[in-house]
Structure 1
Amino acid sequence: MLKIAVHVRLEHMLQRLRCLQDAAATARPTRLLDHLWVGGAVEANSLHLLRHLGVTHVLNATDDLLLPDPDAAFRSLRCAVRDMEEEDIGRFFDSAAAFIDAARESGGAALVHCHEGKSRSVTLVLAYFMQAKEWTLKQALDFVSAARPQVSPNAGFMARLIRLEESLHGTKTVKLKKTKPEPRVCPVCSDKVGISLQSLSVHIRTKHSEVAADYEPLLRSCDSPK
């Protein structure tokens, strides 16, 4: 009986794994235009599905995911972007737009993807709409968000898109959400002590009174009104 129970449980596990594999294999990117799709790594790996959808060009907006195999007959372009706020994604706006337009002009379609299809790939797509269709950032963001609600460019990418909009249209239609300030770090114990200079001063004087004199210039600057 025990062997039978183990066998049944194993079959159930294998069946569940097959279901997960099938779901991954059939993940669909999001269609934005006849010649433009956006998605993540799973969608980018579904090569048979991409061919069925008419995708001929694959833009990889990561520095680590593999490009399609040359034998797969896709045109490919890597924009090696890290999903970090300090990354200058703007240096890829022109090349990404040209690649997407090349797909359109050839009668095909481009897939723009990153890991999750939320930040890097979406930023390049938003820039494309602003450049190619002369949309404002708000128009582009509303359009893409309606089709793919999970879109979420990081704050640094949004700041770069806002600068692009200002340079293209002389306007600013989206406000950058303020990010929470980074807490200050105590130079003595490396603890995070709050976001104000005063909190750093209080921490050093109460927790490290034995060395507070060594930090007197710093403490005076913390105490002085700004």
Structure 2
Amino acid sequence: MNNSRRNSREPVNTSQTVSCICVRGVNSTGSDLSSILPVHNKAAREPERLLVPARPIAPYVERGYVSSQQVFNLLSAEEGQAALYDPYYILILDCRSTKRSALHMYGKSHVVTARAAVTVIHPVLGCLISCIALQKYSIILLYAEEGSSPVVLTICTDSFSLPLLLYASVLISVGSVKARTDSPDLLHCFFQLSRLGMDPVILLGGFSAFRASYPFLCTRMVLLETERHTLTIYPSEILEGALYQGSASQASDYRIIENLRITHVVNATANWPDAFPNKLCYLRLCLSDDAQQDLVEALPLASRSINAALMAEPAGHVLVHCSVGRIRSSALTLVFLMEHRRWSLLHALCWLKERRACSAPNVNFLRQLIVYEELLFGSKLTSLSDIRR
């Protein structure tokens, strides 16, 4: 896939030192982080005991399929600008039946930007778009109403050699041969595209599964290409239904906050105010993304604050953000994954980049995370060369 984008960054006050402030907020969980304050002594920053490293366990589905969470992150992908604004980024084909009893289901809603499959692959007329036009798309996604559900296995992600673009690329390189239980219309479209040399992917669980998790990304009508720039781009989902990472503008959009049921926000910007202090619980960490920024107090504070929110009763939903969601927010997400998932920096960074490809903590932050890794586990598990190759 070719998904290069221009980078954009909010100007930050690079002269400002770390300032850790927790603003007490009101939310539906009834929990708050106001008791968590910056620490200023080395003993308070050290973990109570050394951690035993673990490897991430990620769901693995058959090649040719893609999960609802993966589609959500594909639709949320950003690299300078939203990938979805590119008309040739993803072609989504709604392969649900429009006949008889299925018609009322089809007419209710579609995955955002989807178009009817018959406008591309007609059951009688065949392919209505040239192969040259189809080849322009980075991703071609098909879905039926429910779709098949192959056995889900688990694998350990123990290599950083995965592509650093969009993690669905791992699953879409080869067409699935286990599509027999999907709808006839979807199968016709799938095999027709495959014969044309395309590598379409099938939404696992179909439209019903996607709508159940992300109803706000379903619309009653297929949007025109000219309307793409009006679409809402959501933060990336790092831990399903729990932890999100994104930009300051996303953190200021209450529709996003409501749809993702965000209760806690970690604001890592130097000059972007907390958007909803009377409704949400905030941890404010005034950070810059330059080579002099010290994270010695911010890392443990962010890690333990995120964990406190996720472990609350009921569990909170956390959004970590900086200006564009690439550098500062990535460092804070990574330290949580290291400390509370017991992942090495290498494994945590791989996990993060698979879900938010634009994540790019700077060298200064990576060096400090390596030091923190040694503090957590008692030895250095990751070298800078491991994560910069």
Under TM normalisation by the shorter chain, which class is it?
0.5 to 0.7
In the alignment of these two chains, the number of paired residues is 158
Alignment of 1:155-166 (within 5 A): 155-166=363-374
Aligned with 2:297: secondary structure? helix
The aligned counterpart of 1:70 is: 277
Deviations 1:159-192 (A, max 9, x none): 0000011111133343325xxxxxxxxxxxxxxx
The aligned counterpart of 2:243 is: 36
Aligned with 2:245: secondary structure? strand
Aligned with 1:76: secondary structure? strand
Deviations 1:58-98 (A, max 9, x none): 11001101102334x11111111101121112311122122
Distance 1:67 1:49, change over 3 A: same
In structure 2, C-alpha distance between the alignment counterparts of 1:108 and 1:52, rounded to whole Å: 14
Aligned with 1:111: secondary structure? strand
Higher helix share: 1
Contact 1:30 1:39 in 2 (8 A): yes
TM-score (norm: length of structure 2): 0.39
1:172 alignment partner, one of 371, 377, 380? 380
The aligned counterpart of 1:194 is: none
Distance 1:167 1:146, change over 3 A: same
In structure 1, C-alpha distance between the alignment counterparts of 2:360 and 2:328, rounded to whole Å: 9
The aligned counterpart of 2:260 is: 53
Q: Which amino acid aligns with 1:109?
A: H
In structure 1, C-alpha distance between the alignment counterparts of 2:233 and 2:287, rounded to whole Å: 23
- Unaligned 5+ segments in structure 2 are 1-224
Distance 1:100 1:155, change over 3 A: same
Percent identity reads 32
Contact 1:39 1:117 in 2 (8 A): yes
Q: Which amino acid aligns with 1:96?
A: A
Deviates more, 1:102-111 or 1:125-134: 102-111
Is 1:134 the counterpart of 2:342 in the alignment? yes
1:79 alignment partner, one of 285, 306, 322? 285
In structure 1, C-alpha distance between the alignment counterparts of 2:272 and 2:382, rounded to whole Å: 31
Contact 1:27 1:42 in 2 (8 A): no
Q: Which amino acid aligns with 1:54?
A: R
Contact 2:263 2:281 in 1 (8 A): yes
2:331 alignment partner, one of 123, 137, 148? 123
The aligned counterpart of 2:306 is: 100
Aligned with 2:382: secondary structure? coil
In structure 1, C-alpha distance between the alignment counterparts of 2:251 and 2:260, rounded to whole Å: 12
In structure 2, C-alpha distance between the alignment counterparts of 1:38 and 1:112, rounded to whole Å: 5
Is 1:110 the counterpart of 2:318 in the alignment? yes
- State the structure with bigger RCO (CA 8 A, min sep 6), 1 or 2: 2
Aligned with 2:342: secondary structure? coil
Contact 2:374 2:381 in 1 (8 A): no
The aligned counterpart of 1:205 is: none
Deviations 1:126-176 (A, max 9, x none): 011111111111110110010011111111100000001111113334332
In structure 1, C-alpha distance between the alignment counterparts of 2:228 and 2:345, rounded to whole Å: 39
Contact 2:248 2:324 in 1 (8 A): yes
Q: Which amino acid aligns with 2:307?
A: D
- Unaligned 5+ segments in structure 1 are 1-15, 178-226
Q: Which amino acid aligns with 1:103?
A: A
Higher strand share: 2
The aligned counterpart of 1:218 is: none
Q: Which amino acid aligns with 2:285?
A: C
Q: Which amino acid aligns with 1:151?
A: S
Contact 1:68 1:76 in 2 (8 A): no
The aligned counterpart of 2:141 is: none
Q: Which amino acid aligns with 2:284?
A: R
TM-score (norm: length of structure 1): 0.65
| Structure 1 ranges of 4+ moved more than 2 A | 16-20, 170-177
